[in-house]
Chains A and B, each alone.
Chain A
Amino acid sequence: MQQSILMLFLGLLAISTIVFTYVYQSSQKATDLDRGMANPLKSRFWFLLILFVILGIFASVTIPKSPYYFYADETPSRVVHVAAKQFAFVLSNNAIDPKNPVGENAIELLENELVEFRVTSFDVNHGFAIYNKAGQLIAQTQAMPGYVNKLRWKFSEPGAYSILCLEYCGMAHQIMRSSFTVK
């Protein structure tokens, strides 16, 4: 997914660079007789219309794919409660008491089961990001004090997964992490 996003971006980058270079060169070659674009208002209109349509299609395709709607009509077979605290995550099969936050030593999930992560924070804002073995970010939500964010996910590949904090939370932010396995 990230790779195709990068490719899309590089493609657009190339197009813009070509357009700007082309326009610049057309001006270098221009003589006093040149009058610029033939009918700028009309081309502007078409340009805008095409842009509008492209963005409209993009929005209507992508909005339903937003994480708020993932597996919305299924019952999770597994719940993992997550509480973030400077600078560690507590993961538990049971609800976590803020006064005595203890979690499981190891969390094991099953391949293709629907897991619901119920993520909160006991101090500042943190991020809860799941990375796969290859070091690729596959899913995330924020951990905000006073709120529970529910992230639903199915892991299609067994293996070790890491959790990284993705919201800057202070001086040890870069080492705030945890992990779990999928069998």
Chain B
Amino acid sequence: MFKDIVIFSSIVMISFVSTNVKGQIASSGWKEEDRIYSKVFDAPLSGKQLRKGTTLYQVTSQKPTVLALIFTRCTGVCNPFLLELKENIELRTNEKNFNILVMSFDPRDTEKDLDDLAMRFGLSEDKRWEFAVTDSIRSLVQSIGFKPVWDSLRQQYDHDALLIGINSEGYITKKLIGIRNNADLGLLLASIQDSFTPTYRMANPNMLFSCFNYDAKTGKNTPGLGLIFVALPALIAMVIVLSVNFFVRVNRI
């Protein structure tokens, strides 16, 4: 019976929390807060799967959209970034209610370049994915607050790997900077479906003792060490009761 109480209380604490951790996920800080809930620029798009004259709003109004900004000549983050995104999306085969729009912010990129990119990633046939360029890229990146810097020495753009969540009304609902795990992507997808989470965690120099961690490998949220710390006093108290009980009995005999 006593054991049951211990087990029961720890299960209650942990299970309730692990089902409710939507909100507590690391992010790379305040930059992701920029331009939240502002409208993206309604850029005209051209891409192989798109009808001529399609604009960004026409895409988003059909389905909420995850926008990834890359350039095809990138020797840095763009490729691993897209790969990770592709793998994470593949884990979500059942979720169809969103588009992923990959766009180049490099004016040199053509429709053809992006088409090739789609082929390379084996995504040209996938209905959920679109690859496109636009002739108004400056207005688009400006409306997003994305600031690539041209580095003429390396002949490369210095830029963040950026995912932008856009809901069906064309509002930016969330951003993710950097290569991120599936759980973070899940938050982004929830936000473009207009499902509200009242909070999120910012990057912290010491995550060890935070109440909620995520496991980068499985992409799942697990109750962090911190949460165990919250339950710890109760558990230690139980241990003390049991050991005191043990010692008084041993000593008596």
Direct contact of A and B (CB under 8 A): yes
Interface check B87, CB cutoff 8 A: no
Chain B residue numbers with a CB within 8 Å of A151 are 198
Q: Shortest beta-carbon distance, B164 to chain A, in Å?
A: 14
The proximity string for B residues 150-167 relative to A, scoring 1 for CB distances below 8 Å and 0 otherwise, is 000000000000000001
Chain B residue numbers with a CB within 8 Å of A147 are 199-202
Chain A residue numbers with a CB within 8 Å of B167 are 75
Q: Is A94 a contact of B30 with CB atoms below 8 Å?
A: no
Minimum CB distance partner of B38 in chain A:
A79
Tell which of B169, B194, B196, B197 has the most Cβ of chain A within 10 Å.
Answer: B196
Interface check B112, CB cutoff 8 A: no
Task: Count how many chain B residues have C-beta atoms less than 8 Å from C-beta atoms of the other chain.
Answer: 24
Interface check B37, CB cutoff 8 A: yes
Known: A75-B167, A75-B171, A75-B194. A95 touches B33 (CB 8 A): yes
Chain A residue numbers with a CB within 8 Å of B201 are 146-148
Chain A residue numbers with a CB within 8 Å of B200 are 147-148
Chain A residue numbers with a CB within 8 Å of B30 are 95-98, 120
Q: Shortest beta-carbon distance, B17 to chain A, in Å?
A: 15
Minimum CB distance partner of B30 in chain A:
A95
Sample of 23 A–B contacts (CB below 8 Å)? A68-B198, A72-B196, A73-B196, A75-B171, A75-B194, A76-B37, A79-B38, A81-B33, A95-B30, A95-B33, A95-B34, A95-B35, A96-B30, A118-B36, A120-B30, A147-B201, A148-B33, A149-B198, A150-B196, A150-B197, A150-B198, A151-B198, A152-B196
Q: Mark B residues whose CB is within 8 Å of A.
A: 29-38, 167, 169, 171, 173, 194-202, 204
Q: Mark A residues whose CB is within 8 Å of B.
A: 67-69, 71-79, 81, 94-98, 116, 118, 120, 146-152
